[in-house]
A and B are shown apart, each in its own frame.
Chain A
Amino acid sequence: MPMSEQDGAGVSRRSVLLSAGAAAGMLGLGGHSALQSLTRDETDAAVEGLFDETQVLNTACAPNCRGKCPLNVHVRDGQIKFVEPQMTDDERYRRGCLLGQSHVQRVYSPKRLKYPMVRADWEPDAPNPGGRGEDAQFEQVSWDEALQYVADEMRRVRSEYGPESVFFHTGSGDNGMGTTIFGRLASMFGGTQQSWSIDSNVGVGFNRITGHGFFLPPTNESADWVNANTIIVWGSDLFKSQFQNDASKVLDAIESGAKLVVVDPVYTTTASKADLWLPIEPGKDTHLALAMIHDVLAEGTYDDAFLRERTTAGALVRGDTDEMLRMRDLEGDADDDRVVGIHAETGEPVPLEPDTYAAVELFGEYEVDGIQATTGLSLLEEHVADYSPETVASVADLDPADIKTAARWLATRGPGGIAPSYALGRYKYGHVFGQTYAILLALTGDYGKSGTIHAQHPSGTTLNSGEYGSPDGAPGTQSLSMHEVPAALEDGEPFPIKAIYGMESNMLANQFPNRQRWHDLLENVDMFAMADFHRTPTVQHADIILPAAHWFEREDITDAWGSHPHISHRTKAHEPLWDARDDYHIIAELADKLGYDDLFLDDKRAELRKIASNDDRFDFDELRRKGNVRVEDEAAGIKYTDPFPTDTGRIELYDEDHPVEDDGTVLDLPRPIEDRTAADHDLADEYPLLFMQKHSKWRIHSQWADNAMIRKFNAEPTLDIHPSDAQDRGIDDGDYVRVYNDRGEVVVRASYNEGMRPGLINIDQGWWTDDYVHGSHQDLTHMEVNDLAPTFAFYDVRADVEPAPKDIDTSKYTAPESADWLEGYPNGGDN
C-alpha cells in the first residue's frame, strides 16, 4: 500500500474522516461508547463461540424423505465442517446421503433469513394484502416488535372472528418436536390446524379392504425386506429419491436373489436396476393390478390357505342385497353378525372367525335358507374377467407376457410384495389402486410374514407425547383438510381464516397446486407470518418473517415417518447465526405475548425432557448420550400379524359398503376410474401431453432448492420430454419452451430424455418460483379432488409444449454476468 500523506487521496481521506467524525458527538459515539459491536468486557457472545469449540455431536436429518438419518456433526474451531452417518442403535440402519452432507452449505449460506422482518407496506390497521408477492419489500425489526405484531393480530382476529380464524399452519419440513410444540400453543389458543390432502389416497383405498392405511399402509421394517423374493416397485424411483434405508434395503434384497419388478411410465434409475420393467401408460395402474389378479386366479397360483384363514374370499355375498350373508340372516342369534361360508365337506353354512382357518368353498354360488349367495372370490373372478392380461396390455401399452411374469413371480416365488409410491395417489382416483393391490396381495398371501412388502417405506417410530398437545384448560383445535382451506379463505366456510402463522412449510405459495389461486386466496388474510430458515417463495409471500434456526443449531428430538425404528436426538452445534432463533423459543415468546406465560419452560431441554417423559420406551438422558435409540412399537417388526381391523377381522375382498365415487362408479369391487389420463378426456385433444413432477435426487420436496452446491449440478428446472414429442413441436434439446394448459404456463429449458414415455412430460418437483424464468410448474396443476379420499392430484394434469416466446428473458441462466454462479457448468442440452 503506497504512502499517501502528500497525495490528493490522503487529503480526501482525512477530510472525509474529519467530517464524519464531527457527527460522532451527535450520534453519541464519543470515547468508549464508540464500541458498538465489539466489547472490552468478558464476552460470551454467541458468534464468538464459533471460533473455539472442537467436538463431534449427534444430530439428525429429517426433511421428510423419511430417512430421518442420525448424523454426526464434526465441529472444529466452533464451526460445522463435516457431516457423516451416525452409528444407529440397531446397526442395520446406519445411512446418510449427500443431501445430508450438504447441510454445511445450508448452515453457512448467505441466503439464510437473518433478522425478523415486516413487509414494508403492511400495518396492523392497513394490511394491504395486495402488496404481497415477489416484489414485496421488507424492513428489519426486533423480535419483540415482530412477535408483538403477530400476537396482537391473533388476539384481534380471535375477538372479531373467533379463535378458529387463526390458522396454525405446518408442513413436513422439520421433523423435530416443532409440530408437537406448536400444536400445544394452537390447542391453547383454539386455532385451526390442517389435516392432509396430500399422499392420503392410495392408503385410504387399501384401508377399505384391510382396515390399515391413510398414508401408505404399514409394511415390515426395512431390515426384513432382504427376505422378500419378489419386490414390485410401483411408480417410485426410490434409487433416486430415497437414498436412505429404503433404497439400501431393496438393494439388499436384490443381492439376496429377489426379483425386482418396476412399474413406471418412465425409465428411471430404479427401472434400470429391475429384472422386469413394465413401462405402463400413465393412469392404467388399476387396470394392471386387475390383470394380475386375473392371472393369479386363472393360473390357480393364489394362496388358498391364506384366503381361507385371513380373508372373506369364501364369505357369501347375498344376491338380493349385495351385502355379505350374516349368521343372523340364518336361523339363529339375531345379534350374530359373523359372515358365512359354505363348508367344503359338509356343504353347511359356517361362520368365519377372524384369523381362523375355515375349510370353506372359495368359489361358487349357493342357496342358503332360500337366499341366493355367491362367494366373494367368485364375484371377484367374474369381475376381473374383463381385465385379462391381453386386454389390459392393449389398454396400458404393455406386453401381456410381462404382466403374467410379474404376477407369477409375486404369486409363486414365496413372500414378496408391492411397494407403491405416493405417485399413484397423485392421480385423482389413486385410492382404487390401493383397493386393488390390497386384494392382489391377499390372493398371493403376502401379509404378516417375513418378506412381505406393502409400501415403499416403513412407518418409522413416533414418540408418544401423551397429553402434551392438550394442556389443561385448552379449548383444542379445529381441523381443516388442505383442500378445505380455500373455501375457508374465500367464502368463510365453514369459518373464515384471517390470520396465519406458518412454520416448516413451503406449501402455501409454492408446493400447493394451482399456485396463483393460493396467492389470490391469501389476499383474504390480514396477517401472514412465516417462520423458516431461508426465503422460500412462501416466506417471500408473508407479512412477517421470523428467521428460524437450522436443525444443527437447536437441541431437539426427531421421530416419526422414519425409514427405521429409532428416535434420535439433536445436539446444538452452535448458536443460531445472525438473529435466528429456535422455533421453540419463537413459539414460547409468542405464547408469552398471548398471555400463556406458563405454557412453555424457558429451558428447551427441560421442555424436551417433559415431552419425552410421556414415552416410557426410552430414557431422554440415554437418548442424549447415544444420539439415537431403537424403540419397539407397532411400527417395528413384521406387520399384519393380528386380526385385521375390519368388521370381520379379515381382509374384505368384496366391499359391501359399496362406496361411490363422484362419477357414479360403485366400488364394491375395484373399477378403474380415470380423470385426465383418459384418452377421451375433454382436454385430451387440446392438451395431448400428460404432465408429472417426479421427485429427484437433488432436493426433498422444495428443500435444498437454494443450496449452492446442489445448484452447481442441478442449475435450473428442465422439462423432461421424449425427443419424438419435442421434434414434433420443433423443439431442440436445450431450447427454452413454454409448457401450458387451461390454467397457466411455465417456461423452462427442454431436456431430451429417451427414458420418458412419449406423451408424458416431467418437471422435477420442488423448484421454487424464483428459479423459473417465467411461471411455475404449479401454475399447471389444479385442486380437483375425489370424493372418497380427497387428495391433490398433482400428476393428473394435461398440458402442451411449444417453443418459448422470443421475448422471454432467460438471462438469469444465459447471460454471462448474471449466471456467473454457474461457473461454466454445462446446462440445457448438455446436462
Chain B
Amino acid sequence: MRNSVLEGDDRGRLAGGYSVLARCWRQPTADLLAAVSDGTFERIEPEVAETSVEDLRVEYARLFVGPAEPVCPPYESLYRDGDDAVLGPSTRAVVTWYRSYGLGLEPEWPDLPDHIATELEFAAYLLEREDPETCERFLDEHPRLWIEEFLDDVERETREPYYRALATMTAAAIDG
C-alpha cells in the first residue's frame, strides 16, 4: 500500500471535496454560487462569486458546451485519444472502471462518461467506499493523464475568475 494524503479519519470529508468539485464542473446553479460567496470554500476567494448565475452559465456554455465548438471540451478522450472525436478508447477504459465498482451511468445524466465531473465524482466514491489506494490508482490512470492540460486551457481561456479559481483548486485536488 502506498502512503496517500487521502489517508485519515476525515476521508469522508475529503471525498466530499471531490463530490463538490464534481458539482462545480456541471452547469452552475444559484446554490453553488451562494456557497462560494458565503466563503464556504476556504480556497476560493468569495469575490470570484461577484458575478451572476446567468453570466456564469454563459461562460460555462462557451467553455464546455457550445453551440460553437467548446473552447475547453471537458472530456478525457479528446485529450488522450487524438482523433478529434469523443467516446474513444480512454472513455471505454473509464467506463470499465465504473463497472468494476458496480456503477453505471445515471439515465438522467445525458453527458459522456469521461466528463470531468463524472470522473471526480467517481474519485469521491472510491475514496469513500473503497480506499485511498484505489482512488489514487484511478486518479493515476485517468484524471491525472488529462485534467491538468484541460485546466491549463480553462485558466487561459476563461473570462470568469470563478473558473480560474476552480481550475486552481481542482489541480491541487488531484495533485499526486
Contact = CB atoms under 8 A, between A and B. Distances in A.
Interface string B128-152: 1000000010001000100000000
A10 B3 CA distance: 11
Given A137-B61, A139-B54, A110 B125 contact: no
A139 B57 contact: yes
Interface in A1-57: 1-5, 9-24, 26-27, 29-30, 34-48, 50-51
Given A29-B23, A79-B87, A138-B61, A37 B115 contact: yes
A20 B21 contact: yes
B169 A16 contact: yes
Nearest to A47: B105
B149 to A, nearest CB: 14
A14 B5 contact: yes
B16 A39 contact: no
Given A19-B43, A27-B32, A45 B106 contact: yes
B27 to A, nearest CB: 6
Contact of A140 (B27, B84, B112): B27
A114 interface: yes
B3 A5 contact: yes
Contact of A34 (B38, B69, B109, B124): B124
B121 to A, nearest CB: 6
A769 to B, nearest CB: 12
A535 B67 contact: yes
A23 B35 contact: yes
A681 B102 CA distance: 75
A27 B33 CA distance: 10
A45 B104 CA distance: 8
B14 A17 contact: yes
Interface in B143-176: 144, 169, 172-176
Contact of B106 (A1, A27, A39): A39
B14 A110 contact: no
Given A13-B175, A18-B13, A77-B92, A34 B19 contact: yes
B155 to A, nearest CB: 15
Nearest to B171: A16
A790 B23 CA distance: 56
A577 B5 contact: no
Given A20-B43, A45-B106, A579-B110, A110 B20 contact: no
A115 interface: yes
Contacts of A821: 84
Interface string B42-83: 111000000000100110111001111110010100100000
Contact of B73 (A21, A30, A51, A110): A110
A140 B65 CA distance: 8
B121 A34 contact: yes
B75 A21 contact: no
A35 B106 contact: yes
A82 interface: no
Interface string B6-18: 1000101111111
A748 B122 CA distance: 48
Interface residues of B, number: 80
Contacts of B109: 36-38, 45, 47
Contacts of A540: 67-68
Q: Which of A21, A26, A48, A138 has the most CB of B within 10 A?
A: A21
Contacts of A26: 31, 35, 38, 40
Nearest to B29: A27
A22 B106 contact: no
A241 to B, nearest CB: 26
A539 interface: yes
A343 B140 CA distance: 96
Interface in A400-424: none
A12 B173 CA distance: 8
A357 interface: no
A578 B176 CA distance: 31
A38 B85 contact: no
A120 interface: yes
A105 interface: yes
A52 to B, nearest CB: 10
A36 B17 contact: no
A5 B5 CA distance: 5
A539 B67 contact: yes
B16 A29 contact: yes
Given A19-B41, A51-B92, A29 B111 contact: no
B66 A114 contact: yes
A19 B35 CA distance: 12
Contacts of A783: none
Given A4-B175, A117-B61, A29 B20 contact: yes
Contacts of A23: 16, 20, 35, 40-41
A17 B35 contact: no
Interface string A47-74: 1101100000000000000000000000
B21 A108 contact: no
B128 A34 contact: yes
Interface in B77-123: 78, 84-87, 92, 95, 98, 102-107, 109-113, 115, 117-118, 121-122
A21 B17 contact: yes
Given A22-B13, A577-B86, A3 B2 contact: yes
Contact of B3 (A3, A43, A51): A3
B68 A535 contact: yes
A138 B169 contact: no
Contacts of A368: none
A109 interface: yes
Given A9-B172, A79-B87, A137-B58, A20 B20 contact: yes
Nearest to B144: A1
Contact of A117 (B16, B66, B84, B144): B66
Contacts of A108: 85-87
Contact of B20 (A12, A27, A41, A535): A27
B141 to A, nearest CB: 10
A113 interface: yes
B75 to A, nearest CB: 7
Contacts of A15: 42-43
B53 to A, nearest CB: 9
A272 B89 CA distance: 44
Contact of A17 (B2, B44, B136, B173): B173
B104 A48 contact: yes
Contacts of A18: 10, 13-14, 17, 42
A484 to B, nearest CB: 30
A1 B95 CA distance: 23
A708 interface: yes
A213 B6 CA distance: 75
A383 interface: no
Contacts of B60: 140
Contacts of B73: 110
B144 to A, nearest CB: 7
B35 A27 contact: yes
A117 B19 CA distance: 26
B76 to A, nearest CB: 12
B166 to A, nearest CB: 10
Nearest to A12: B172
A45 B31 CA distance: 27
Contact of B104 (A43, A539, A577): A43
Listed residue (B12, B35, B67, B124) with the most chain A CB atoms within 10 angstroms of its CB = B67
Given A16-B43, A20-B21, A113-B67, 20 more contacts: A13-B172, A13-B173, A18-B13, A18-B14, A19-B17, A20-B16, A22-B42, A24-B19, A35-B121, A39-B106, A40-B102, A47-B105, A51-B95, A105-B84, A110-B70, A110-B84, A120-B58, A137-B62, A140-B57, A140-B60
18 contacts: A15-B42, A16-B172, A21-B15, A22-B40, A36-B117, A37-B118, A39-B104, A39-B106, A43-B106, A45-B104, A46-B110, A47-B105, A108-B85, A108-B87, A110-B75, A113-B67, A139-B57, A821-B84
The 10 closest A-B CB pairs, nearest first, are A17-B17, A21-B16, A43-B104, A24-B16, A19-B42, A45-B105, A21-B17, A37-B109, A20-B17, A108-B85
